[in-house]
Amino acid sequence: MSSNIFRFTRRDALKLSVAAAALPVLGGGLARAAGPIKTAAIYTVPVEQQWVSRIHKAATIAKDRGDIEYVFSEKVSNTDYERVMREYCEAGHQLIVGEAFAVEDAARAVAKDYPDRAFLIGSSFKPDAAANPNFAVFDNYIQDASYLTGIIAGALTKSGSIGLVGGYPIPEVNRLMNAFMAGVKESRADAKFQVAFIGSWFDPPKAKETALAQIDAGADLLYAERFGVSDAAKEKGILAVGNVIDTQADYPETVAASALWHFEPTLDAAIAAVKAGSFKADDYGQYSFMKAGGCSIAPYGTFDAKIPADVKAKVAEKEAAIKAGTFTVAIDDNEPKSS
């Protein structure tokens, strides 16, 4: 029986590997606010999708600028969302960007477990500073830009019948549709709306069929909340108005205007707060407002000559009023109805 004190047991190996794994975590936690902020984004959809593509773009810009180190996971299912969040927290990321529309409770629970990390999360709800002081929320509050595209749409429709196709009537979608409709009413008081939801985010053939049905029923201008709608408009030679991203390059003859979302002000505000050590459970929704540069109306492009000058003047006037704070576009999250 020779006992060897230098014997390396499996248990020792295990301890060592745990220690090795813990090292970078500790290192990450300590290296706070010095150099680029370690940022992780978790998306439930691919980065090509309208909404997420804007966040991804802003994060890439911030990365190129040297403000953040950026990693992301896309197409994370809601059932797996919490695990991915925790993994990024464990890996030492200081700023977690994501979307908790369907995992609100779980996301907030994770934030509670990692009080020294900053969470900037897309949400339909408000922040709760008492329960989660490090959980800030945002959403694409681009109703200002949607309203302006509505003014243009109201001026361009001939039949006065406008079709809107959406995925699901969630606040983010409703808000923009309602603002768009309010804008249309501004220039065409007797406009009629056909509102439809397809019950899916990713079924462009279905969105296209829905849009075609609206065209059959007399719509001569479509509000394209989903991919597929602009294709129906192009096929039938009628106009469409884009949302969140600018798709005019793909449909130069038919996409008349688009309301763009710019995530940069939201992200930059969060980065500044983390750097200053002052990140709080704020509502970052306001950074998507036109005042903050969070949204804009896309360049008229191919429609520069097709939109009447008086309409453009009206849009410019409203835009100035919105920026000056003398005019506010109502935020209405209720499900829009056909009229």
Partner 1 sequence: MDAVEILFTASLWAAAIRIASPLIFATLGELICERAGVLNLGIEGIMTVGAFSGWLTVYMGGSLWLGILAAAVAGSAFGLLHALLVVPLGLSQHVTGIGITLLASSLSYYVYRLVFPEVTSPPKIEPFQPWNVPVLSDIPVIGEALFRQTPLTYLAFAAVLLVSWFLYRTPMGLAVRTVGENPSAVEAQGIDVTWVRIAAVMAGSALMGIGGSFLTLSAFNSFFFDMVNGRGWICIALVVFGSWRPGKALLGALLFGLFDAYQLRLQQLAGGYVPYQVFLMLPFVLSIIALIVMSRRAAYPRALMVPYRKGER
Of the residues 78, 159, 200, 334, which one makes contact with partner 1 according to CB under 8 A: 200
Of the residues 24, 199, 237, 308, which one makes contact with partner 1 according to CB under 8 A: 199
CB of residue 119 to partner 1, shortest distance in Å = 26
Number of residues this chain uses to bind partner 1 (CB under 8 A): 38
Site for partner 1 in 47-106 (CB under 8 A): 47-48, 53, 57, 75
Around Cβ 29, how many Cβ atoms within 10 Å?
Answer: 14
17 vs 339, beta carbon nearer partner 1: 339
Residue 180 in contact with partner 1, rule: CB under 8 A: no
Of the residues 70, 101, 223, 227, which one makes contact with partner 1 according to CB under 8 A: 227
Q: Which long-range contacts (CB under 8 A, 24 or more apart) does 49-53 make?
A: 49/201, 49/202, 50/227, 50/243, 50/244, 50/245, 51/140, 51/172, 51/244, 51/261, 52/99, 53/245
Residue 134 in contact with partner 1, rule: CB under 8 A: no
Of the residues 55, 212, 270, 322, which one makes contact with partner 1 according to CB under 8 A: 212
264 vs 282, beta carbon nearer partner 1: 264
Separation in Å, CA 21 to CA 28, 40, 72: 12, 19, 21
Q: How far apart are the first and last CA of the chain?
A: 91
* Coil/strand/helix, residue 270: helix
| Nearest-angstrom CA–CA distance, 229 and 240 | 8
The DSSP 8-state label assigned to residue 284 in this structure reads G
Sole window of 29-37, 41-49, 264-272, 313-321 interacting with partner 1 (rule: CB under 8 A): 41-49
17 vs 79, beta carbon nearer partner 1: 79
Residue 195 in contact with partner 1, rule: CB under 8 A: yes
Amino acid at 338: S
Helix H, strand E, coil C: the string for 48-109 is CCHHHHHHHHHHHHHHHHCCEEEEEECCCCHHHHHHHHHHHHHCCCCEEEEECCCCHHHHHH
Of the residues 62, 198, 241, 292, which one makes contact with partner 1 according to CB under 8 A: 198
CB of residue 168 to partner 1, shortest distance in Å = 9
Residue 12 in contact with partner 1, rule: CB under 8 A: no
Residue 197 in contact with partner 1, rule: CB under 8 A: yes
Residue 204 in contact with partner 1, rule: CB under 8 A: yes
77 vs 328, beta carbon nearer partner 1: 77
Of the residues 106, 196, 311, 331, which one makes contact with partner 1 according to CB under 8 A: 196
| Nearest-angstrom CA–CA distance, 304 and 142 | 22
The residue with tokens 């439809």 is 196
Site for partner 1 in 232-261 (CB under 8 A): 245, 247, 250
CB of residue 216 to partner 1, shortest distance in Å = 5
| Nearest-angstrom CA–CA distance, 88 and 111 | 12
Residue 214 in contact with partner 1, rule: CB under 8 A: yes
**Residue 254 near residue 238, CB atoms below 8 Å:** yes
Residue 7 token pair: 């014997």
Residue 137 in contact with partner 1, rule: CB under 8 A: no
- At residue 41, φ and ψ (nearest 5 deg) are -115, 140
Residue 327 in contact with partner 1, rule: CB under 8 A: no
Of the residues 134, 146, 194, 254, which one makes contact with partner 1 according to CB under 8 A: 194
Strand 255-261 with 295-297, pairing: antiparallel
| Nearest-angstrom CA–CA distance, 257 and 246 | 8
15 vs 83, beta carbon nearer partner 1: 83
Q: Which residues bind partner 1 (CB under 8 A)?
A: 46-48, 53, 57, 75, 163, 169, 194-206, 208-210, 212-214, 216-217, 227-228, 231, 245, 247, 250, 337-339
